[in-house]
Amino acid sequence: MSVVQTPWQAGTECVANYDFDGKTDQDLPFTKGEFLTIVAVTKDPNWYKAKNKVGRVGFIPANYVQKREGVKAGTKLSLMPWFHGKITREQAERLLYPPETGLFLVRESTNYPGDYTLCVSCEGKVEHYRIIYKAGKLTIDEEVYFDNLMQLVEHYTNDADGLCTNLMKPKLMEGTVAAQDEFSRSGWALKKSDLQILQTIGKGEFGDVMLGEYKGSKVAVKCIKNDATAQAFVAEALVMTQLRHKNLVQLLGVIVEDKSSLYIVTEFMAKGSLVDYLRSRGRSVLGGECLLQFSLDVSEGMEYLEANNFVHRDLAARNVLVSEDNIAKVSDFGLTKEASAIQDTSKLPVKWTSPEALREKLFSTKSDVWSFGILLWEIYSFGRVPYPRIALREVVPKVERGYKMDAPDGCPPVVYEVMKKCWHLDPTQRPPFRKLREQLQHIKANGLYQ
């Protein structure tokens, strides 16, 4: 264990690498894997003042904890850094030169589309093993079957099981970083043994969403089980390590040690998605002040994304979650990218996406602003689907001709004016989220939400 040389600032988040029982009443005991926040730097660089998740404050030894850092934007994380995609047999053999027994990579099969090939260096030559994709499973010998490539590689790493040698050293694809190594280095890797899965509570983009318990706290857990969504899983987790705001669903960590399943662990939002919350309560339960506060919450989260040059690209009431104490937080960062990135539009929700994003693949904070206007309409219509009574194929042509939805019943005129500003066909004329937040705060301060 090494002493921390550079003092961390107050507010720095860290994770415990060891148990600490405390030696005095002023110390803060903690267990390995627990999350702590630095409150103050002390005169002794070996100690910090910190608080735990329930707000207890005390002194902690600096060399027992690890700072949690955002994974650097642009880092090419891979759960399968040994997977080289579409390369030929000859290219694989060149990559595995000079020969080193146990050096391996996996590539897409050139002779059998849909299958893979495991290439292993063994006693001076390279052996190529066809990995057959059969009934949703992978196999080399049609005796042992695997759910994904990661399981297969792990199996043959532990046991040659008929291969010329067991897999000893992956040949990493140039430019990639092993996801497990990077999440561990930056303090985001959690232990599966500390997580207890309680029940399935929904379906997400990648697979099941479950309620779990981590270190005595309820958490939400996204779980994926196949290679097809593995890289999207890593991309979402990478983005979430860089984001921290009271109106964004907070990442607690990732579990990548289990090759049969991968997990993103986030704070648990007890009241579910905003769209379901609005539909189930309705006008008789939710007053104007509550609707405006939800709108403000989302605007603050989006202002933070805007300030940090992130574009959400799938902002909608279904992707906003509500906490036990009625705070709305933006969720589902599966499509979130740095503002310069471009995304295929084929999977985008037409009714929430701006005309220029659909037409020209131009995603920006301004396209998020358009979606925010649609989200406001969802809030004030208590979760109705936008563009009611208009066929989906007619939505884009009508919108591009200048059509705007009418105000929902009971929506304050000042809020409807905010919506319409978001729906300007010229993206440069849409207000930034900072302005939208200021306008909504003005409406709240002056009681104009009824």
Known catalytic residues are 314
173: Cβ–Cβ under 8 A, 6 or more apart, which residues?
Answer: 78, 81, 82, 83, 84, 85, 105
HSE at residue 130, side-chain half, CA atoms within 13 A, is 12
Is residue 83 left, alpha or beta, with left meaning phi > 0 and alpha meaning psi from -120 to 50? Answer: beta
Other Cβ atoms within 10 Å of 36 Cβ, number = 23
Closest CA to 120 of 183, 54, 171: 171
Helices (H), 252-287: 274-281
Name 59's bridge partners: 27, 49
Terminus-to-terminus CA distance in the chain, angstroms?
A: 59
Say whether the peptide bond before residue 81 is cis (omega within 30 degrees of 0). no
The tokens describing 393, both together, are 């194929």
Question: CA torsion, points 108, 114, 120, 126, in degrees to nearest 10?
Answer: -80
The tokens describing 370, both together, are 């358009």
Dist CA 15 CA 19 (whole Å): 11
Name the helix (H) or strand (E) containing 4.
none
Residue 222 labelled as part of a binding site: yes
Which SS3 state, helix, strand or coil, does residue 253 take? strand
Which residues are part of a known binding site for ATP? 222
Binding residues: 222
